[in-house]
Structure 1
Amino acid sequence: MPRLSADERREQLAEAAIRVMIRDGVARTTTRAVVTEAGVPLGAFHYCFRSKEELFQTVIERIMERNLPPGDLAPPEGATPFEAVRAILRAYWEQVRARPAEHLVTYEVTQYALRSPGLADLARRQYRHYLDVNAAHLEAMGRAAGLAWTVELPVLARHGLGVLDGLTLTWLIDRDDAQALAALDEYARYLASVAVPLPAAGRPGGAGVSGPRRGSASP
């Protein structure tokens, strides 16, 4: 077995847990199943994670990280606020469509945590993390599009989380791409309606959207 750093081993176990959750479901994801999938001894799990709850939190963060829009995304030159926001949201949506099984896992984790004694705080931390990531992404989106939001960021982040969370779950159920994109465009119109142009001095020169990295938005 190759020697890995603690961070590399955590990454290995988190990825193994995601595969087990997709294959067997969250409720049947045990620490033994995860280490078997990863091909490591049980002691490796306890070396990297204090609990199964901590593993689940890491899984949520991993899935969120790789479903952010590309870091070098920039709106089309001369785009209207609506067109700029829509381009960024559609890039996010392509990440959703590319990994539906991972998104299903996140909903399963929430339900499992809420129904399991002692794990309710996992669901609260999960959605606090989502709110932080949404707020950071809205800030990055505004900078890239040259826009400032007229709604307080915590309120806008909660509103956006409700929209995107519901839209994703509905799409996971019916896989109606046309309706999903139409609803996403309506959200883009709403965001454009609560945005004003940034002063020229506040606009980054050619900056693209850069989503938050691990540790920057998590509680």
Structure 2
Amino acid sequence: MAAKDRREELIAAGFRVMIRDGVTKATTRAIVNEADMPLGVFHYCFKSREELLQEVLTRFTDRTVAAARKTFEAEGDLGSRITKSLSAFWGTVELSPGEHQVSYELTHYALRQAGFEDLARRQYQHYREVHQELLEEAAKAADIEWAVPVPVLARYLNAVLDGVTLNWLVDRDSEHSREVLRLTGDHLLTLARERPRPADEPNPATAEPSPAS
């Protein structure tokens, strides 16, 4: 097996151990046992256990972000795009609760490890940047602007999704969690307003239809 493939298998094995046993029990030896590899292979592929944990968290973040982007690219008005995006996000939570729990564990682990805090900061910065991009794309597609600064709105959205997910991991109350997401979508729509236009720019919402040829 090529070194690149061994590395990928160790990352996957690390994720499986963390989902099953928790981050603190994902020792180097536990991971190589899960991957059915000798201990020496681990040190050939990674400088340290922390490097593997960083890769696990990065992969999870990238996968979550990619799913959000794919859903938000779907056609539809502002309301339907927001609803579909929130619903798709929630689908990943209910489908893979263990992965989401591991992401929280890794975030707290990173904050407590000296020199490792930047990983958690980059993780949440990445989430906020993606939320901001999606909000800006939605505003452009719907020809509106947001009533609050987009960076603030992105942080608000990230905080809501974090809170709903963590609450659900505790009580598994899907009905009320989905209702909170519906309320969040409704609230986002109240923050959308018509974009100011120069006097010579037509408003597509009120423009007269062109005569049939």
Bin for the TM-score computed over the shorter chain: 0.7 to 0.9
Name which structure has the greater RCO, CA cutoff 8 Å, separation 6+.
Answer: 1
CA RMSD of aligned residues (A): 2.9
1:145-164: CA deviation from partner (whole Å, max 9, x where unpaired):
66543433322221111110
2:26 paired with 1:29 = yes
Superposition pairs for residues 101-120 of structure 1, below 5 Å?
Answer: 101-120=98-117
SS in structure 2 of the partner of residue 57 of structure 1 = helix
Identity of aligned residues (%): 45
SS in structure 2 of the partner of residue 27 of structure 1 = coil
Deviation at 1:17, TM superposition (A): 0.8
What is the TM-score of this pair, normalised by structure 1? 0.74
Out of 156-165 and 39-48, give the one that drifted further: 39-48
Question: What is the rounded CA distance, in whole Å, between the counterparts of 1:119 and 1:178 in structure 2?
Answer: 37
Task: For 1:163, give the aligned amino acid.
Answer: V
Answer whether contact 2:71 2:85 (CA < 8 A) is retained: no
Answer whether contact 2:71 2:88 (CA < 8 A) is retained: no
Unaligned runs of 5+ in 1: 200-219
Which of 185, 194, 199 is the equivalent residue of 2:191? 194
Task: For 2:126, give the aligned amino acid.
Answer: H
Which of 122, 130, 136 is the equivalent residue of 1:125? 122
Question: What is the rounded CA distance, in whole Å, between the counterparts of 1:72 and 1:162 in structure 2?
Answer: 20
Unaligned runs of 5+ in 2: 198-213
Paired residues in the alignment total 196
Superposition pairs for residues 15-164 of structure 1, below 5 Å?
Answer: 15-67=12-64, 68-69=67-68, 71=70, 77=76, 79=77, 81-142=78-139, 148-164=145-161
1:5-26: CA deviation from partner (whole Å, max 9, x where unpaired):
x2x4333222111100011110
Q: Which entry has the higher C-alpha Rg, 1 or 2?
A: 2
Answer whether contact 1:75 1:145 (CA < 8 A) is retained: no
Question: After TM superposition, what 4+ stretches of structure 1 lie above 6 angstroms from structure 2?
Answer: none
Question: What is the rounded CA distance, in whole Å, between the counterparts of 1:10 and 1:150 in structure 2?
Answer: 46
SS in structure 2 of the partner of residue 21 of structure 1 = helix
Answer whether contact 1:75 1:84 (CA < 8 A) is retained: yes
Answer whether contact 1:85 1:145 (CA < 8 A) is retained: no
Task: For 1:32, give the aligned amino acid.
Answer: R
Deviation at 1:42, TM superposition (A): 3.0
1:34-78: CA deviation from partner (whole Å, max 9, x where unpaired):
12212233343334333322222221222233332472665565x
Q: Residues 153 and 92 from structure 1, CA distance in 2 versus in 1: closer, same or farther, beyond 3 angstroms?
A: same
Out of 45-54 and 106-115, give the one that drifted further: 45-54
2:32 paired with 1:3 = no
Question: What is the rounded CA distance, in whole Å, between the counterparts of 2:47 and 2:145 in structure 1?
Answer: 41
2:175 corresponds to which residue? 178
Task: For 2:53, give the aligned amino acid.
Answer: F
Q: Residues 132 and 54 from structure 1, CA distance in 2 versus in 1: closer, same or farther, beyond 3 angstroms?
A: farther
Answer whether contact 2:61 2:123 (CA < 8 A) is retained: no
